[in-house]
């Protein structure tokens, strides 16, 4: 099912029940996206940052495994952005640094001529930006689905598998952090 919403279908809903508007047009499993978002709403910003960094690495690996990544992509810029997010999680980086790193990655995405690479870079850019604003985590998740759709056109099973991967890993991060705090 193709999904695209900018909030018009959510009027009249309680804020707590409102699903984050989908900013990109993707074929998606709406039930699994809703399940992911419900988990996401009960997750700290640090947990979401860890999840988003894991998602970015996972998505970049999908693109790399398909043979699309190449030397023209400045992977050091991506690594630096991910490092800055990790430093923020430890209280060692400023939001300004996060935003600048994210902008650099998004500029790379905009310059990319390959749509799958562009979408994967958007995942990384939004993953870094989660430290700035939690909502970037769900946007990164949607872009990861877009990458899967570009790599596996007309394969809803691949989309479903990706959403299940996302839910599983978000839950694992939440569990691991809860264990550390006990």
> What's the number of domains the chain is made of?
1
Instruction: Give the CA distances from residue 146 to residues 29, 33, 70, 117, in Å, rounded to whole numbers and listed in that order.
Output: 12, 13, 20, 11
| Block residue for tokens 């630096």 | 80
Q: Give 127-170 as a 3 state SS string.
A: HHHCCCCCCHHHHHHHHHHHHHHHHCCCCHHHHHHHHHHHHHHH
Question: What is the chain's pLDDT, residue by residue, as a tens digit (182 residues)?
Answer: 444 433 333 333 344 454 677 788 899 999 999 999 999 999 999 999 999 999 999 999 999 888 877 655 678 999 999 999 999 999 999 999 999 999 999 999 999 999 999 999 999 999 999 999 999 999 999 999 999 999 999 999 999 999 999 999 999 999 987 777 65
pTM to 2 decimal places = 0.87
Parent domain of 106: 2-181
How far is C-alpha 92 from the chain's CA centre?
22
| Whole-number Å distance between alpha carbons of 130 and 134 | 5
Rg (CA), the chain: 16
């Amino acid at each position: 099912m193709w999904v695209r919403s900018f909030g018009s279908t959510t009027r009249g809903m309680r804020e707590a029940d409102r699903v984050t508007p989908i900013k990109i047009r993707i074929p998606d499993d709406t039930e699994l996206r809703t399940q992911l978002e419900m988990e996401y709403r009960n997750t700290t910003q640090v947990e979401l940052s860890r999840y988003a960094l894991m998602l970015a690495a996972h998505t970049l690996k999908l693109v790399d495994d398909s043979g699309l990544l190449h030397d023209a992509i400045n992977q050091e810029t991506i690594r630096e952005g991910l490092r800055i997010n990790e430093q923020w999680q430890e209280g060692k980086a400023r939001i300004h640094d996060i935003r600048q790193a994210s902008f650099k990655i998004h500029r790379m995405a905009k310059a990319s001529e390959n749509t799958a690479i562009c979408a994967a870079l958007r995942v990384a850019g939004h993953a870094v930006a989660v430290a700035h604003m939690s909502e970037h985590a769900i946007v990164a998740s949607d872009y990861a689905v877009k990458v899967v759709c570009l790599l596996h056109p007309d394969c809803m099973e691949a989309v479903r598998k990706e959403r299940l991967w996302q839910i599983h890993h978000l839950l694992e991060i939440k569990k691991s952090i809860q264990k550390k705090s006990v």
